[in-house]
Amino acid sequence: MKNQGVLSTLLVILLALFSACEQVMPEFNPKGSGSKIVIEGMVTDSLGQQVVKISRSTDYLKPSRPEPVTNALVVISSQEVGFDTLVHQGDGVYLSGLWQGKQGSVYRLRVEVGGQVYEASEQMPVLVGFEIDSVVHRFDEIAEKDYLSYGFEDKRKIKAGDSIFRAYFYAKESKSSVNFYLFDFKRNSSFYRTQTDIIVADDELIADYIQGLELPGEFYRNDTATAIMYGISRQAYRYYRDLENVMNSDGGMFSPPAGNPLNNLSNGALGYFQVCAVRQQSIIVR
C-alpha cells in the first residue's frame, strides 16, 4: 500500500527516539500526500534527560529521508518541573535538563515551529509493585547442535559449535488499577524491535507475575541482554495497537481501511507524546 513507506518512516523515528534517550520512541498520512510535522516525545520516571524528536514526514509520491526539524521551540512543563526549554542536540533531537518524572503527575508539551503551535499532555500512570525482578539466560543446546535451523540474521559469522543462549525475564505486574505496558528488548546497544514489532499488553494478557518471558533473538557469550518494560497510558496503548494494526495490514479487500493512529497531539501533528514509568534489567551472558 502506498502509505506503508510513510508509516515505516514514523517507526524509524520511534526507534531513534528510544535510542536517543537510552532508556529507552511513525509517520502516516493516508488522506494526503503532503509532508506533516512528526513529534515523538518521552517523559519517564527515571532520572535523566527527557527527549523529544521532531521531523517532517516525506511525501509518498516523492519518498526521501525524513527532514529533521532543527529550529523548533520545545517546552515541557509540569507542576514539579515548571517550564523546561529543551535544547537541540542535532538531527531533530531535543533534550531537557536533568530530572525525573513523577507517577500521577501531568506533563505538557508545547512545540512551536514554522509559525505553528503543537501541544500535548499526558498523565504518568501510577503503578504499585511494578518491577522487573531479573533477567536470566540459558544455554540453548539444540541451537548449538543445529544452528542453521534458526535462520540467523546476525551479522557476525556463526560457526558450528558456537554456544548460543536464550534470555528470559521475570517481572511483577502492577495491580493498582487497569494497566497497560509496552515492551522493548536489547542485545548490547541495539534494540531488537523491527519496523513491524510493537509489543504491547494489558492486564488481560499478562498474569500478576511475568514468569520467564523469552527475549527475542539469540545471545552469545559476553553479550548483554536487556529487558525494558514501560507502564503506559490507555491512550498510548491504543495508539500503539492502531499503529501495529496499520503496519501489519496487507491492504487487501478484507482488511479494515487504514487511518491515522489516534494520538494526543494537536494541530494535525503525527507521532505521540508518551509519559510513562519505565523499568529495565540487564544480564551479561557468561
Is position 259 within any domain?
yes
Res. 9: pLDDT tops 90: no
> What total of structural domains would you count in the chain?
2
Q: Do residues 141 and 214 share a domain?
A: yes
138 and 122 in a single domain? The answer is: no
- The pLDDT score that the predictor gives to residue 51 is 97
pLDDT category at 103 given cuts 50, 70, 90 is: very high
Instruction: Verify that 119 and 247 share a domain, yes or no.
Output: yes
Same domain, 105 and 118: yes
- Give residue-wise pLDDT tens across range 244-259: 887 766 555 455 555 6
Q: What is the mean pLDDT of the chain?
A: 79
90 and 9 within one domain: yes
pLDDT given at position 48: 95
Q: What is the pTM of this model?
A: 0.78
User: Would residue 251 count as lying in a domain?
Assistant: yes
In a domain, 88, yes or no: yes
- Considering only residues 120 and 129, tell me which one the structure prediction assigns the higher pLDDT: 120
Residue-level pLDDT at 148: 43
Residues 121 and 164 in one domain: no
Q: What is the pLDDT confidence band of residue 2, given thresholds at 50, 70 and 90?
A: very low
Same domain, 164 and 113: no
Residue 205 has a pLDDT of 67
Residue 13: inside a domain: yes
Q: Which of 214, 229, 244 is the last residue of a domain?
A: 229
Q: Is residue 121 domain-shared with residue 218, that is, in the same domain?
A: no
pLDDT at 236: 96
183 within domain boundaries: yes
Domain presence at residue 191 = yes
Q: Is residue 256 part of a domain?
A: yes
Q: Note down the domain range covering 57.
A: 4-126+233-277
Same domain, 253 and 203: no
Looking at the structure, tell me whether residues 162 and 183 fall in a common domain: yes
Question: How many CA atoms are closer than 13 Å to the CA of 274, on its beta-carbon side?
Answer: 29
Q: What is the average per-residue pLDDT within 86-102?
A: 97
Are 122 and 9 in the same domain? yes
Co-location of 154 and 54 in the same domain: no
Reported as a single tens digit per residue, the pLDDT across 64-87 is: 578 999 999 999 999 999 999 999
285 lies in a domain? no
> Can you tell me the mean pLDDT for 110-115?
96
